[in-house]
Amino acid sequence: MAIMEEVKTSSDEGESCFWHIDDNITLMIKAIFFDQDNTLVNTREVAGETYREAINWVAAQKKIDSEKLFADWREILDTLKNSKKPEERQFSYSLSRVVKEDDLVEDAVAIQKKRLGGVIQLNAGVEEFFKKKIDGMKYILMTEDFDDQIEIKLSKFGLKERFDLIVGSSNVGLMKPNIKFLEIAWEKFGLDPKECLYVGDNFEKDCQIGKDNGGKTIIFGKDDIRADYRMDDFTELAGILKILG
Ligand SMILES: [Mg+2]
């Protein structure tokens, strides 16, 4: 028997589709928290080439060695990787530490964003899973990205509109893990933390606090014995929800 069937509903916005999980089952999970990078989209796989293109462009403008500029930028990046300030984790910030001309930084960031928007892809099963919504389930995006970055990574797939709430750096201003990311959603929707599911590729950042508060966790694309489930394809998510009851 199919785990879920499609249900078409009509609303003011027209016809929309929901995943409908068997009538006899009331799902325990009422909200799913999704990490973005390396969970929904393949950021790690494509980010390198986007920074490379932007830095090559700056080097060409300045007529300097691009390898040297790239190495200098990487060095700055290393010093910032544990920064707790989201703004310091932005490309514009790290690049401005090695390129003093504001206009070049601005144009380079635009080049990087354009390339990223072109090459970023959804991970396995994401498109299929989000095509329809599970009726009544809250979908929450929990990311350190700012709105403009979320826009680049998710809008081309029409995914941004799929979330009931986006908790990102533009409204939290903190790095993960931080309970504030979760509390905003718990409070907004009156959620019981025990009825929440957390999906991410980094247990500490995406799952740990949720689990500590009684929620369930899925690690994406790797093994982590601390997580309740491992998933390599989002089409597995419906089955896991059903197992959770
Ligand atoms: Mg991630």
What pLDDT does 17 receive? 55
Helices (H), 81-223: 91-96, 102-119, 126-131, 147-154, 179-189, 208-212
CA of 239 to the centre of ligand 1 (A): 22
Q: How far apart are CA 217 and CA 112, in angstroms?
A: 33
Q: Tell me, rounded to whole angstroms, the distance of Cα 52 from its chain centroid.
A: 22
Ligand 1 centroid from CA 206, angstroms: 7
CA of 2 to the centre of ligand 1 (A): 30
Ligand 1 centroid–CA 39 distance in Å is: 6
Which amino acid would we find at residue 72? D
Q: How far is the centre of ligand 1, averaged over its atoms, from the C-alpha of 9 (Å)?
A: 33
Q: What is the pLDDT of residues 127-137, one digit of tens each?
A: 999 998 898 99
Cα 143 to averaged position of ligand 1 atoms, centre (Å)? 8
CA atoms of 166 and 141, how far apart (whole Å): 5
- CB distance 147 to 170 below 8 Å: yes
Pairing of strands 4-11, 14-21: antiparallel
If you average pLDDT over every residue of the chain, what do you get?
91
Query: How many angstroms is it from 134 CA to the middle of ligand 1?
Result: 23
Secondary structure percentages of the chain, helix, strand, coil, to 5: 50, 20, 35
Kindly state the average pLDDT of the residues 42-67: 98
Phi, psi of 80, rounded to the nearest 5 degrees: -105, -5
In angstroms, the CA 164 to CA 145 distance is: 17
**Distance between CA atoms of 117 and 84, rounded to whole angstroms?**
26
Tell how far the Cα of 219 is from the centroid of ligand 1, in angstroms.
10
The tens digit of pLDDT for each residue in 150-179 reads: 999 999 999 999 999 999 988 888 899 999
pLDDT value of position 2: 41
Q: How far is the CA of 65 from the centre of ligand 1 (A)?
A: 32
167 and 184 in contact (C-beta within 8 Å)? yes
Task: Report the separation in Å between the CA atom of 46 and the middle of ligand 1, taken as the mean of its atom positions.
Answer: 14
State the distance from the centre of ligand 1 to the C-alpha of 157, rounded, in angstroms: 18
- Gap from CA of 34 to ligand 1 centroid (Å): 9
Is 0.75 topped by the overall pTM?
A: yes
Q: How far apart are CA 135 and CA 245, in angstroms?
A: 15
Q: What stretch of H or E contains 245?
A: none
* Residue 131 · residue 24 · CB < 8 Å: no
Beta carbons of 185 and 33 less than 8 angstroms apart: yes
* Residue 135: closest CA among 12, 3, 21: 21
My answer on whether omega of the bond before 177 falls inside 30° of 0, hence cis, is yes
**Cβ neighbours of residue 180 closer than 8 Å, sequence gap 6 or more:** 172, 174
Average pLDDT over residues 58-80: 97
What is the 103 CA–ligand 1 centroid distance (Å)? 31
| 172-187 pLDDT, tens digit each | 888 999 999 999 999 9
**Collapsing DSSP states into helix, strand and coil, what is residue 10?**
strand
What per-residue confidence (pLDDT) applies to 171?
86
How far does the centroid of ligand 1 lie from the alpha carbon of residue 192, in Å? 24
pLDDT digits (tens, 9 = 90+) for 5-33: 555 544 444 444 556 665 556 789 999 99
pLDDT at 22: 58
